[in-house]
Every structure is written in structure tokens, then in C-alpha cells.
Structure 1
């Protein structure tokens, strides 16, 4: 898949960047950092002796029932009727230990203004998150930022595009955005802000209806609909672990930076 003439420096060692190298980096990370067990392919039982068979008979049935709780079990009843630890909520079927809550239960509107402070950098949102405005645009929105809204680390910010869902979580300590933006404090005693952002990006169709098409500037986000939209909330420890694993995997890939042709 990759040209073996391409080399990459990783951990100060020059080596070919090919499919095997990429796979070994991910396997090493999952095994050494997160305690996963690594098995050689031919040692894993399959439905046939053919090693190109991707079905694992010891894993597939239980995984299908866990992911699709409405599938019938051996007695033709849904899996959740046979002792599966699941429950019905306004969001849908979720594990019993998880919670379901409208977003208004953990989001609080922020309206603080910059005022006469001159040390607050200006940010903008895109469909990929919150960025310093200078990285994306050359033109200032106005001659004064005094009316801009202050955003702080962990806040979720919604931008103004009517065609795509512009939003993101603030990663830096402090900044400001256009007064037309919508800024919310995220109660991280309930939900991890980064987990919330990832969840919203993984389920775009569920959240896209929060944008009201055809409305005037400053009214794009349906704030009432946002407050009432139910979401699933796993235990905080699980949220944090998910964000950590995803971040470390992303960092491992990003560290493969020096590619020579």
C-alpha cells in the first residue's frame, strides 16, 4: 500500500513507512500502554482453517447482541429480555450504569464580555473546532474586541455557519469570540468536555438539527432545542479513559512527522 522507498524517523530510528510499520506502532501502543493482549493471527480460532476468514466464533455472537440489543437470542426474544444490562431512555437503549440527560442539564450560557481588557486573543470556530482567528482569517471582525464574548478552557462554542455545524471545545486557557457566537460552560462533574465534542462529531446527524436554516445572523443555533436534546452519559471514568486512549493514539500517529521522499 505504501512505497517502501518512503522512510520515516520515529524514536530517532530511520525505517520504512509501510503498512507493517504502522500496524506495529498501534499494536505496541495498545499492548504496552493499555494492557491489551496481542495474539498472532494463526493462533486465533476461526470458523474455518482459512486465515482470510474474519469471523471469530468466540467473539461474534456476544458482540452482535451487545451492539444490537434488539436482535433475537436463541429463544427468539430480544437480548435485553434475557438479562442484558440495558435500559430504555429518551436517547435510546443504553447500558444500565449510564445516564441520559438533556444537554441543558450540564450546559450553562456564558455572556461575559471582554470590555476594556486588551490581553484576550480572538478565536473562531470551524467544523473542525476552535482556532485562533489569525490562523484562519486575515481580516479583523471589528476595530474593537470589547463586545466579544470571553471563552475559557472547556467551554463549548457554537459558530455562525448555516450550512455546516461549526462548533468546538476551547483548549486554551482563555480567549474571545464574536458576540454573535453562542458560548456554554460545560459542567465537567457530569460530562467531560472533550468527550462531549467527540460524541457530537461521531453523531453529526443527531445534532445537525440544532441548526435552524434560513434564520437571521446570530440566531442560527436553536438554543431551546439544544437545552432539551437528550444525550447518553457514560460514567466519568469511562469518558476520561476513552478521551485518553483516543488522544494517545492520535499523538502516536502525529509523531510520525518526518517523512522523506
Structure 2
């Protein structure tokens, strides 16, 4: 109920009016039956704009911390994610990846749409990074088609670190469904899962026109954070002002 209110009464009409989304290939999303919506990830707003452009509900997973915040901000954040159909995943104990897959399989077996960012995190610089094989595991175990979709300019609409989006026209492009039934029964084979994942990432690269980097985005982010800490540690403290 809350999802419908947010999408069709509160968020949807206003976001359409202000950001005037331009969507290509929306007809590729099936009207019925399970499908995996695999997207690049440029901005926090990706999980807002793309589901609004699909007639059916698209379920994502998010870290449990988004649902347990305190105060007014915590309550508003929780209500937003609940209202947009997001399911919390417990990241403790290193089971986040398996928990996300289990949730995705349940959503797909119920005949619904499941959204996933194969890169696993937002791109640190707008380029497309190596995909994690969870998307392949979902496709092979569920038999559901993969619908590739790219956010073409969401990093310009809401750059990393910015809370308030810029007023720009949002552009989204869906691609034809990808069928991996030829690999039926091969879930768990890491070579097959890597091949399927790379095929999906290649399609996202073609649709987006973005440069592809065959490295995990999280590794790049970790290196950037480490470099920033080192630079901060190496910066000498400013000398105190000397009284005249």
C-alpha cells in the first residue's frame, strides 16, 4: 500500500514533472512473470528513478542499517525504503551476498521483478566496473531473463556526495531481455557464472557507452580511501600564528 502511495501519488508525479525522465526500451520489461533488472550504478537516485519508470514493482535489497536509524531522519529513511519496495539485508557475519541471492530467488519465484546492481556498489568515477557473479547465480537458479538497464546521466543529476539532486532531465535506457537457458543446471560453476556476468556487463557497456574497467569498483574505492588517509596523515599541521 505504502509503495503504491509513494509511486503513484507522492513521489512519482512530482519527480516526473521536475526531472522529465526520458526512457528508451521500456517495452522490454515483461508485463507478467519473473525477470531480473540488472543496472549500472552511478548515483543514490538510481533506485528512485528507474523503478518509477516501470509499471510493475521492482524489489531491491539494501543494508539493514537503512531501516534501523533513529530520530526523524532514521524514520523518514526507513519509510522511504519500505515504501519503494526495498528489503533489508543483514550484512553481519559475511552473509550479505548469500542473503541478497536468497531474497532475490524468493522474489523471482513469486513471479516478480528483482533489481540488482552487478557492480555491487556505486561507480567511483562514472565508469562501468567488473560485475560480481551474484546476478549470474540468480539468472541460472531462477531461469528468469535478465533485462539490462542503464542510467545514462544520474551521476550528473545527483553527483556522489550530494544530497539535493540537480534539476536535469533523467535519461534511462532498457535493453532486450537476455536469455541464459542454455546454461540450465550449471549454477555453481564459477566459470559459467563468470561468463554470464561478463556477458551482462558487456551489454551494459554497449547500452551506456561508458568505459569498462575490469576491476571491482569496491577495490578502487578502498584504494582511494587509503590514499586519502595517507595524504591526510602526511600533511603537516599548520604552524600556530605568531603574535606581533
- TM above 0.5, yes or no, is no
TM-score of the superposition, structure 1-length normalised? 0.22
Larger Rg: 1
TM-score of the superposition, structure 2-length normalised? 0.23
| Bigger share in strand | 1
| Bigger share in helix | 2
If asked which structure has higher relative contact order (CA below 8 Å, sep 6+), I would say 2
